[in-house]
Structure 1
Amino acid sequence: ATALYRSWVRTTVERAVTARLAPVELWTTPAVGHPYFAELMTDYDLRVRPQGDGDLGRRMERALRLALEEASFAILIGSDCPLMDGDYLEAACARLQDGMEMVIGPAEDGGYVLLGARRCETALFRDMPWGSERVLAHTRKRLLALGCRWAELDALWDIDTAEDLRRWEALAGQAAVREMSMQAADNRK
């Protein structure tokens, strides 16, 4: 499980960094000083920051609030969405640059894989049914109540269940086969 987690984190960081859209920060819990995070800092020249205490909502709110102290907008992403790529991140940035106050990358399971914002709204993070299929619906209702203008990207899937993991394994296997085929074709040239 640890090897999978590390692989997903590294892939997510690499995609965010290579997209070259903005500075990338890695918000971790609990140990900012863990050797793995130090390795990522060195490999990708990124800043590692502690998520702090509290439930997922409080930690996300803190990260967003602090990021917005240094930038006109910020985007929060998790490391469990294998299809999120640079184009997806670029689309989120474009929505915010075009004047949207928020952008959401919905998850197929009713949550979200990305939240971008120009301002931090506490209501989006408190008393949420985190980990349930109701998160996205609650977020939309709260955005409406706040009078926020937001955009939504295409829905992606994230890895929360054993079924999601099997889906990822099948996708990863297909990608590995494609990579091997391309390498074999290159070797024949």
Structure 2
Amino acid sequence: MTADLSARQQDTCIILFAKYPAPNKAKTRLQPALGVDGAACMARQLLLHSIEQAVDTGFAVELCVSPAPTDPCWQALDLPSSLRCSMQTDGDLGLRMLIASQCALQHFDKVMLIGTDCPSLTTARIQTAIQQLNQHDAVMIPATDGGYVLLGFKRVDESLFSDIVWSTPSVAAVTKQRIATLGWTLALFDPLPDIDEPKDLVHLPSGWLDSQLNTKVDND
């Protein structure tokens, strides 16, 4: 490991929140289009793609998962050995993100929270967002559905994650308002699409949908 890579890994931690992509447990809203197995395969593909994009940035990556990383299910995914795996705490999404961020900031200067629903969140976009934290207190890439696909900061405040109705169109707007109330500067990027419902499938990378539809046909 070069000294430059080591310094980058110590500077920033990218945290991905994920649950195991089990049939009837993950991406269930895609089942009308892809079927039970196809939706689970899509969840798996989105997860592995997101991990790949994060790891390729060269920064430290933590996968915060449910169930616990010791569960045998995770062994089947053949995850990169460089991943740091942790277990999601109890509570709503906000509390889980807050605790994970607080823990990471004990060891890193910057924290970047991302999900696994946005294939458009590429390595280059994550790297560009991290660079913005050299001039700003926080950075956000909103989702087109009103949430966000990336949120980064150099310090964390409980107000960013409390009293927010998650999975609603107001999440990004409320979070931006909370950041402004804190007096923080925010680097804001154009929204990117999440893949949550059948209508979102048009935003998949080329070839992804064909493979998922083939999975559905094979299992019908």
Task: Give TM-score, length-normalised by structure 1.
Answer: 0.84
CA distance in 2: counterparts of 1:116 and 1:35, whole angstroms: 31
Is 1:111 aligned to 2:147, yes or no? Answer: yes
CA positional deviation for 1:36: 4.3
CA positional deviation for 1:42: 5.1
2:161 aligns with 125
CA distance in 1: counterparts of 2:86 and 2:78, whole angstroms: 11
Identity %: 37
CA distance in 1: counterparts of 2:77 and 2:114, whole angstroms: 17
CA positional deviation for 1:30: 2.3
CA positional deviation for 1:33: 1.6
Contact in 1 for aligned 2:109/2:154 (Cα 8 Å) = yes
- In structure 2, relative to structure 1, the CA distance for the partners of 1:6 and 1:42 (3 Å cut) is closer
Alignment gaps of 5+ in structure 2: 1-38, 211-220
Alignment gaps of 5+ in structure 1: 177-189
Is 1:161 aligned to 2:194, yes or no? Answer: no
Show CA shifts across 1:127-146 (max 9, x none).
Answer: 10210110111111111111
Contact in 2 for aligned 1:25/1:49 (Cα 8 Å) = yes
Show CA shifts across 1:165-188 (max 9, x none).
Answer: x3245x433897xxxxxxxxxxxx
2:102 aligns with 65
CA positional deviation for 1:82: 0.8
CA distance in 1: counterparts of 2:195 and 2:209, whole angstroms: 17
CA positional deviation for 1:154: 2.1
Which of 18, 23, 27 is the matching residue for 2:56?
Answer: 18
Which of 29, 33, 44 is the matching residue for 2:70?
Answer: 33
Show CA shifts across 1:67-86 (max 9, x none).
Answer: 11110001010000011101
- In structure 2, relative to structure 1, the CA distance for the partners of 1:115 and 1:81 (3 Å cut) is same
2:132 aligns with 95
Higher RCO (CA 8 Å, separation ≥ 6 residues): 2
Count of residues in correspondence between the two structures: 173
Task: Give TM-score, length-normalised by structure 2.
Answer: 0.72
